[in-house]
Every structure is written in C-alpha cells, then in structure tokens.
Amino acid sequence: MLLDSPPAVQATPLLDAHAQLRGAVDALGYGEDVFQMLATPRRELSVAVPLRTDAGGIMTLRGYRVQHNFSRGPAKGGLRFSPGVDLDEVRALAMWMTWKCALVDLPYGGAKGGLAIDPSEHSTAELERATRRYTSEILPIIGPERDVPAPDIGTDEQTMAWIMDTYSANHGYTVPGVVTGKPLSLGGSLGRATATSRGVALVALAALEHIGIGAGGATASVQGYGKVGRAAARFLAEAGVRVVAVSDRFGGIHRTAGLDVQALERHVDLHGTVRGFDGGDSIDGADVLTLEVDLLVPAAVEGVINETNARNVLARVVVEGANGPTTTAADAILAERGTLVVPDILANSGGVIVSYFEWAQANQTYRWALETVEDRLRTRILAAWTEVLDASQRRGTSLRRAAMTIAVERVYDAHRSRGLYP
Ligand code: GLU
C-alpha cells in the first residue's frame, strides 16, 4: 500500500523511557555504549499462561517478566494485569523501576511483570489459577534475593498472597520476602496499601509550597481513582486542598466548591465507579486533565498527557501518580508553558519505598509500627524531593531530567564499581 505521507511516529512508553534515558546519559556525558547497556534489559521472560476457565475451556494468556537492571541489588517492581499489556510496555515500566529505586536510594534494581488479562472479566477462581500458573512459569527467576514482585494495575494483596503461596509451595517452606504488598496476615507492612498515595500527596504539597501555594488555598484534580488516585484525593483533601474533580475509566465528577471525598468513597464502594455521584456534576473523564486547577495528579496509565492535549493542561503543577503519564512531546510543551512536572520516579515512589520496608521487615521477621513506616516514608521521599529540586535548580533543567540524572548516575556508578564480568 502506498501512503501519501509517512505515518506519524506513535508515542509509546518505551520510546518515552528511551528518550528520558538519552537525556540523562547526555547530561552526564556518558557515551553511546553506556546508553545501549542501560537501555537493554538484563533479562526478559515471555511465557504462555494457559488458563482453564470455569466453563471448562482453555484460554492461553501471554505473560512477561522483565528484569531491567540488578546493579544495585535484586530486581524490584510490580505485576500488571491488563488486557493490552505487551513486552514493550513491560520493558518501559521495568526501566522506570530501576531509576525509581535508585532515586530514592533503595538497594534494588528494577523489574516489571505483565499478564494480558482483564481482571474484571474473570471470576476469583480464574484469577487465582492464572496467577498461580503465571507464577510457576516465572518461578526460576524470582525470589527475595533475585526479583520481588508487588501490586500494580489490576493486581492486589490477594494476587501477592497467591504468588507467595505458589512460590513457597514449590520451595517447601514459607518465603514472605518473595513479594511485597502482601496482606497484613502474611507479613504485609502497615501503611503499604496507601503508601503510593501518601507519597504523592507529600510531594504534591511540597511542590505547591515551592511555587508559593499553601495547601489551604489550592485546588486539585485527580485523573484515575484506583489504588493511587483514590487515597491521594483523600490525603490531599485532609491536608486542606480543594479536590474539585476526579475521574475513572467510566467518567468524571466535578464540583467547584470541592468534592466531599468521604461521600465519594462511599459512592464508589457501592457502585464501583465515581459516575453517578450526586455530590458534583458529571463531566467527561478526559476533561479532568484540562481543568483550571493548581494541581493535576494523573494517576492511571501511560501517555494520557500527550501532544494532543498538553497545550490544554492548565494546572500549574503536575504530580505523576501513574508511571509514564506524560509523553516526551507533552513534556516539552509543558516545560515551554512553565508547568512544574514532578516526575513519576519521584512522585509515585512511596509504594516501592514501603515495599522495601516490607521486605526489610520480612528479612528481620519484625513488624514496624505504622508511625515508624510513615515517618520513614516521609523522610525518604521528601529528601528525594529536595535533592531533585536542588539538582534541577543547579543544572537549570526540568525536575524529570534532574531526577533521571541522579538515578542514572547512581546505577552507572554501581555498575562501574562492580566492573564488567568477565
Ligand atoms: N507498582 C508500583 C510501582 O510502579 C510498586 C512497585 C513495588 O512496590 O515493587 O512503583
């Protein structure tokens, strides 16, 4: 087929991840060989996951685990259940985990898993079988000292319990450190379930304060109302921020005077969506991204702020609760407009920080009090915020470039100290 003009290059998470790495490698003065080494995942596993359905048939699902880097320690990162997930998306997400862990100084590399399944279309029994079979397929490459999965989109503490049980059954003893984000009854950490949101709120308040807006006078919109967005909206509201809009995949809700987030949570518990909440006006989900607010928290998936809508983003601060919500093209547009973008690897690092605390508690066989977890989370994430802000001011770059530069330098330093084998 002949085309009049070449097709536009599609933005993808992997291209964005590579562009961000390229920027950091150039800023650090490293060569193309270092870029190639850091752009290439150390290990990738693609597996078939045959699932016996409740109706008795067999569905064959595709699964992945990508271990991007081990220079600073075992690989670490979530497992995503989502119908469209593919190897390239998992590669991007795994790479972002490496930078995130290095930025907040955790002794980990980065990894990510994916299973192409829509959890809303399957019974609990089917999800359990799919999770256990996926786990057994990736069993040789995971473990507390190798690679430690955690929840991500479409997975939760029940998923982690099944992974831990499958892994433990195959080893003949209980291995709590093989996953994080477990139920409390299996050695999960207090504060883990809301840790990502807690971190998002802490960093958002620091960023608002940095541009001279106190929590009391601030307005916010939150796109995505799942594991990250829901509690982030609550924590922001508790800090005095007026949360004027939220959305999920079914639609959005807007109220200029601020949403009653507690009433909204009750509505969502009953109906499974923010849609139909009578404490605000219905709006299109996509419009939540372009409201005139001080703070925008994209807390769903990659690429939602892109070349098409970035010029319409009116928020003064964007705090990335999701991984990769802003494409490279959108990043440039937002920078031109003076929008402060707090990058994902900093903004949503609260989850993996408390995952690390959970793993440390498993290794110590000792449970920390909630205050200990939350104090240490606050200290660590705010230290990273200050470090990134200082670096961005010193280097005259965006917060993302500053964060990436710090992270990439740490990973490369570890690599250099270890040397290349053989
Ligand atoms: N899935 C989360 C993330 O993207 C948490 C990962 C973890 O705790 O290992 O950061």
Query: pLDDT digits over 274-324, tens only?
Result: 999 999 999 999 999 999 999 999 999 999 999 999 999 999 999 999 999
Q: Which atom of ligand 1 is nearest to the CA of 348?
A: 10
Q: Which atom of ligand 1 is nearest to the CA of 76?
A: 9
Mutate to test the pocket of ligand 1, among 157, 160, 196 (most ligand atoms within 8 A of CB): 196
Position 217 scores a pLDDT of 85
Instruction: Provide long-range contacts, Cβ within 8 A and 24+ apart, for 385-392.
Output: 385/202, 385/203, 385/206, 385/207, 385/342, 385/346, 388/103, 388/346, 389/210
* Cα 57 to averaged position of ligand 1 atoms, centre (Å): 33
Mutate to test the pocket of ligand 1, among 67, 79, 152 (most ligand atoms within 8 A of CB): 152
Q: Which atom of ligand 1 is nearest to the CA of 349?
A: 10
Low-confidence ranges of the chain (pLDDT < 70): 1-9
Position 2 scores a pLDDT of 43
Domain limits, the chain? 41-175, 195-347
Query: pLDDT digits over 340-399, tens only?
Result: 999 999 999 999 999 999 999 999 999 999 999 999 999 999 999 999 999 999 999 999
* Residue from 76, 100, 112, 227 carrying the catalytic annotation: 112
Position 9 scores a pLDDT of 56
Nearest to residue 319, comparing CAs of 162, 175, 201, 171? 201
Residues in the ligand 1 pocket, defined by CB under 6 Å: 76-78, 150, 152, 180, 323, 348, 351-352, 355
Using a 10 angstrom Cβ sphere, with 0-12 exposed, 13-18 middle and 19 or more buried, the burial of residue 376 is middle
Classify residue 353 by its DSSP letter.
Answer: H
In this structure, are residues 323 and 302 in contact, taking their beta carbons and an 8 Å threshold? yes
Model-level pTM greater than 0.85?
yes
Question: Is-same-fold flag (41-175; 195-347)?
Answer: yes
- First-residue to last-residue Cα distance in the chain: 49
* Cα 6 to averaged position of ligand 1 atoms, centre (Å): 37
* Cα 178 to averaged position of ligand 1 atoms, centre (Å): 14
* Cα 287 to averaged position of ligand 1 atoms, centre (Å): 27
Q: Answer yes or no: CATH 3.40.50.2300 is held by domain 195-347.
A: no
Q: Is 29 left (phi over 0), alpha (psi -120 to 50) or beta?
A: left
Tell me, yes or no, if 112 is annotated catalytic.
yes
Helical (H) or strand (E) element with 69: strand 58-69
Fold of 41-175: Rossmann fold (3.40.50)
